């Protein structure tokens, strides 16, 4: 009965490769997010989708492309991976998206991406 | 710009003691949230305090908010070894649609 799940948990790949991370939530939430946490634990939002519609795109390189086939899924595809992409990527969801984003967010377990 | 900034960056105390972490932010907020992250895990929401609230409690947690100083504090009373984790504040700016996290406080509870 996992609320927010991500696959894979670990991803080790070579520079220049293309990879995808998948996220699914079974909470019935309308809004989903992708965050990047760097080695210093700084957590920064990358994207936000509400009912499959892109709401937030935070100056992320266009090598990163999110895709939301339905409101329960938000996948992240990364092209031409670079060393600086190494980080932990977290998916999250919240009940709905409105002014002020007052709802708590539920986080997945994270995907640790290592680019060699 | 980064909203939440935690202080101290690391805190180590004995089990049973109280732990206090502080958070400062830069602009007007709609609300401020605190999250816990255990090592190698995702973040877990602890408590949300709205801009018109000054104090909120949840079990052993007490959060205060001072909008005049643009600061918040999280107090964990009677700490336990299981409280060992990183704690993050996240601010939601007025009219904003996202959480902006600080770098967190790493709390270690020694048995």
Q: Tell me the C-alpha to C-alpha distance, in Å, between residue A64 and each of A58, A60, A74, A94, B37.
A: 11, 7, 13, 22, 25
pLDDT for B57 equals 96
B76 phi, psi to nearest 5 deg: -110, 120
Contact in structure between B72 and B32 (CB atoms under 8 Å): yes
**Residues B41-59 as b or e (16 or more Cβ within 10 Å = b):** ebbebbbbbebeeeeeeee
Mutate to test the interface with B, among A47, A105, A108, A110 (most CBs of B within 10 A): A105
pLDDT at A19 over 50: yes
Question: Which chain A residues in 27-86 lie under 8 Å from chain B, judged by CB atoms?
Answer: 33, 40-45, 48, 55-56, 58
User: Is residue A99 over pLDDT 60?
Assistant: no
Indicate the SS3 state at residue B80: coil
User: pLDDT band at residue B3, thresholds of 50, 70 and 90?
Assistant: low
pLDDT (0 to 100) of residue A96: 74
A45-97: per-residue pLDDT in tens?
A: 999 998 888 888 887 899 999 999 999 999 999 999 999 999 999 999 998 76
Helix-, strand-, coil-residue percentages of chain B, each rounded to 5 = 5, 60, 40
* CA B74 – CA B20 distance, rounded (Å): 6
Q: Which residues contact B21 (CB under 8 A, 6 or more apart)?
A: B6, B7, B8, B11, B73, B74, B87, B89, B105, B107
Q: How close is the nearest chain B Cα to the Cα of A111, in Å? A: 10
**A90 interaction partners in chain B (CB closer than 8 Å):** 42-43
Q: What is the pLDDT of residues B70-111, one digit of tens each?
A: 999 999 999 999 999 999 999 888 777 788 898 899 999 999
Q: What pLDDT does B1 receive?
A: 44
User: Distance between CA atoms of B48 and A75, rounded to whole angstroms?
Assistant: 28
How far is it, in rounded angstroms, from Cα B80 to Cα A60? 39
Least confident range from A30-34, A82-86, A101-105, B78-82: namely A101-105
Mean pLDDT score, A27-52 = 92
pLDDT tens for residues B30-83? 899 999 999 989 999 999 999 999 999 999 999 999 999 999 999 999 999 999
Per the document, the length of chain B is 111
Q: Name the residue among A103, A87, A34, A72 with its Cα closest to residue B45.
A: A103
Q: Tell whether the model's pLDDT for residue B10 goes beyond 70.
A: yes
Find, among A14, A27, A5, A32, the residue nearest to A111 by Cα: A5
DSSP A19-46: EEEEEEE-S--SEEEEEEE-TT--EEEE
> Residue A100 and residue B97: Cβ atoms within 8 Å?
yes
């Amino acid at each position: 009965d996992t609320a927010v799940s991500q696959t894979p948990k670990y991803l080790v790949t070579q520079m220049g490769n293309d990879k995808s991370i998948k996220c699914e939530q079974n909470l019935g939430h309308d809004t989903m997010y992708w965050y990047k946490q760097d080695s210093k634990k700084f957590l920064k939002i990358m994207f936000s989708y509400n009912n499959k519609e892109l709401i937030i795109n935070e100056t992320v390189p266009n090598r990163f492309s999110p895709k939301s086939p339905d409101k329960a899924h938000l996948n992240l595809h990364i092209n031409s991976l670079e060393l600086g992409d190494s980080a932990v990527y977290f998916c999250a969801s919240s009940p709905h998206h409105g002014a002020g984003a007052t709802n708590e967010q539920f986080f997945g377990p994270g995907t640790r991406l290592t680019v060699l | 710009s980064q909203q939440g900034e935690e202080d101290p960056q690391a805190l180590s105390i004995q089990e049973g003691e109280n732990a206090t972490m502080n958070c400062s932010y830069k602009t007007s907020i709609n609300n401020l949230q605190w999250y816990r992250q255990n090592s190698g895990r995702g973040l877990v929401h602890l408590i949300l305090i709205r801009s018109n609230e000054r104090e909120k409690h949840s079990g052993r947690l007490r959060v205060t908010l001072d909008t005049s100083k643009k600061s918040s504090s999280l107090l964990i009373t009677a700490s336990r070894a299981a409280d060992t984790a990183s704690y993050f504040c996240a601010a939601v700016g007025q009219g904003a649609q996202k959480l902006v996290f600080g770098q967190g406080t790493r709390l270690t509870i020694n048995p």
